[in-house]
Amino acid sequence: MKSLSILGSTGSIGVSTLDIVASHPERFRVAALTAGNNLELFVRQIKTFSPRLVSVLTEERARQLEGMLPAGARPEIAWGVPGLIAAATAADADLVVAAIVGAAGLVPTAAAIEAGKDVALANKETLVTAGHLIMSRVREKGVNLFPVDSEHSAVFQSLQGHRASDVTRIILTASGGPFLHYPLDKLAQVSVADALNHPNWSMGQKITIDSATMMNKGLEVIEARWLFDVPGERIAVNIHPQSIIHSMVEYTDGCVIAQLGVPDMKAPIAYALTYPERVVTGVKPLDLTDLSGLTFLKPDHFRFPALQLAYRAMSDGESMPAVMNAANEVAVEAFLKGRIGFTDISRAIEKTMDVHQPHSLGSIEEVLMVDRWAREKTREMLGLK
Average pLDDT of the segment spanning 226-230: 97
State phi, psi for 344 to the nearest 5 degrees. -70, -20
User: CB-based contacts of 110: which residues, under 8 Å, 6+ apart?
Assistant: 126, 130, 133, 134, 137, 364
2-147: CATH topology is Rossmann fold (3.40.50)
pLDDT-above-90 percentage for the chain: 92
In 152-287, beta strands by DSSP E: 167-174, 235-239, 245-251, 256-260
Q: Which residues pair with 29 in a beta bridge?
A: 3
pLDDT of 102:
86
pLDDT of 141:
98
pLDDT of 235:
98
Average pLDDT of the segment spanning 321-345: 97
Q: pLDDT tens across 38-59, in order?
A: 999 999 999 999 999 999 999 9
pLDDT of 4:
98
Would you say residue 72 has pLDDT above 80?
A: no
Average pLDDT of the segment spanning 127-148: 98
Indicate the domain borders of the chain. Answer: 2-147, 152-264+293-316
Average pLDDT of the segment spanning 287-305: 93
pLDDT of 201:
67
Of the listed ranges 40-44, 187-191, 381-385, the one predicted with least confidence: 381-385
pLDDT of 198:
81
pLDDT of 295:
96
Average pLDDT of the segment spanning 146-152: 97
Mean pLDDT of the chain: 95
pLDDT category of residue 352 using cuts at 50, 70 and 90: very high
pLDDT of 200:
73
Q: Which of 121, 91, 94 is nearest to 109 (CA)?
A: 121
Please say whether the beta carbons of 67 and 43 come within 8 A.
Answer: no
Would you say residue 202 has pLDDT above 80?
A: no
Would you say residue 339 has pLDDT above 80?
A: yes
pTM of the model: 0.94
d(CA 231, CA 254): 19
pLDDT of 204:
80
d(CA 172, CA 237): 5
**Quick one: 68 exposed, middle or buried, by C-beta within 10 A (0-12, 13-18, 19+)?**
middle
Q: Which of 238, 249, 242 is nearest to 286 (CA)?
A: 242
d(CA 98, CA 282): 22
